[in-house]
Structure 1
């Protein structure tokens, strides 16, 4: 399974699926989530609203994933996952982050997705240290992603890409 690091706008990648670092309500937000919702158009919000709530205001608990069409995006699908908020690493954050990647790959397998792009899940407003997140992501993906799946780790700038590329080179 090829894993590569790219510096790009996730919403412009022509992949079978892109992953949205979402909040548990799946109703849009800031950062990657907001950018994906804006680029996909209003159909994405409607599709997210149609997903059942598993608790009041929660359509996707931390560590799980949901899938919707990509609507106006070049990607056929958006896989939404909710990463953990960083609390110093002592509240199971690494396990929850790894579960995000496992949940996304499981949905990708179910939908015969051959190419997928991930953002740096939880590294924005959720505060996960990028160096630690990259190690968790790459170790998890190497264990579970099918050999035929093309996995991109999409970073928004060169600094973040260098962190993720370094983790990939060391793995």
Structure 2
């Protein structure tokens, strides 16, 4: 049975069938990891993204990865964290939907190894504890459908937080 691997480092140096990329609704160059992906993917990726329909928050789109060390990119538009105010519950539902949409699209395209960043926890400001809980809950529901699911965190502090959440809530 597949496991969820939590690691820390440069996600763009890892290999898998697909990399999950936080996206802008028009699949244009965004900030953070999105900017790095688009810079590496170049004009070919930008042209492929222009052919995709608009992507609402929580949805996912698939493109080739071009010059990246993965075959495909699974683009998903993550919600903005609003500091837990009255819209916080909606943001949690939308973040879960990002993971569910990505996993569904991956299965439809027979992708068996996926690389995830901490969706929502970068420029969209979800606290890692909250992002980790939502992600791990969804990923654990589907882990048996894949060969390998890897969550690559940007810092050792984030990795420690995700591991703490995994152990506390999911016994991992």
CA distance in 2, matches of 1:80, 1:26: 8
Give the drift of 1:151.
0.4
1:29-48 alignment to 2 at 5 Å? 29-48=30-49
Q: Is the 8 A contact 2:3 2:143 kept in 1?
A: no
Match of 1:72 among 67, 70, 74: 67
Give the SS at the match of 1:166: helix
| Residue matched to 2:151 | 153
- Cα deviation, residue 64, structure 1: 0.4
Matches within 5 A, 1:114-129: 114-129=112-127
Question: How far 1:88 sits from its partner (Å)?
Answer: 2.7
Aligned counterpart, 1:60? 55
Separation in 1 of the partners of 2:83 and 2:112?
35
Describe the SS at the equivalent of 1:51: coil
- Please, which of 74, 78, 81 is the counterpart of residue 76 of structure 2? 81
Q: Give the unaligned 5+ runs of structure 1.
A: 53-58
Contact 1:131 1:164 in 2 (8 A): yes
Q: Secondary structure at the match of 1:146?
A: helix
What's the TM-score once normalised by structure 1's chain length? 0.92
The number of aligned residues is: 165
Q: In the alignment, which residue of structure 1 is the partner of 2:14?
A: 13
Offset of 1:11 from its aligned partner?
1.4
Aligned-residue RMSD, C-alpha? 1.2
Unmatched segments (≥5 aa) in structure 2: none
TM-score by length of structure 2 reads 0.91
Tell me, yes or no, if the aligned pair for 1:5 and 1:153 is still in contact at 8 Å.
Answer: yes
Q: Which residue of 2 aligns with 1:55?
A: none
Distance in 2 (CA, whole Å) between partners of 1:6 and 1:104 is 20
Q: Which residue of 1 aligns with 2:106?
A: 108
Deviation, structure 1 residue 68? 0.2
Distance 1:108 1:146 in 2: 13
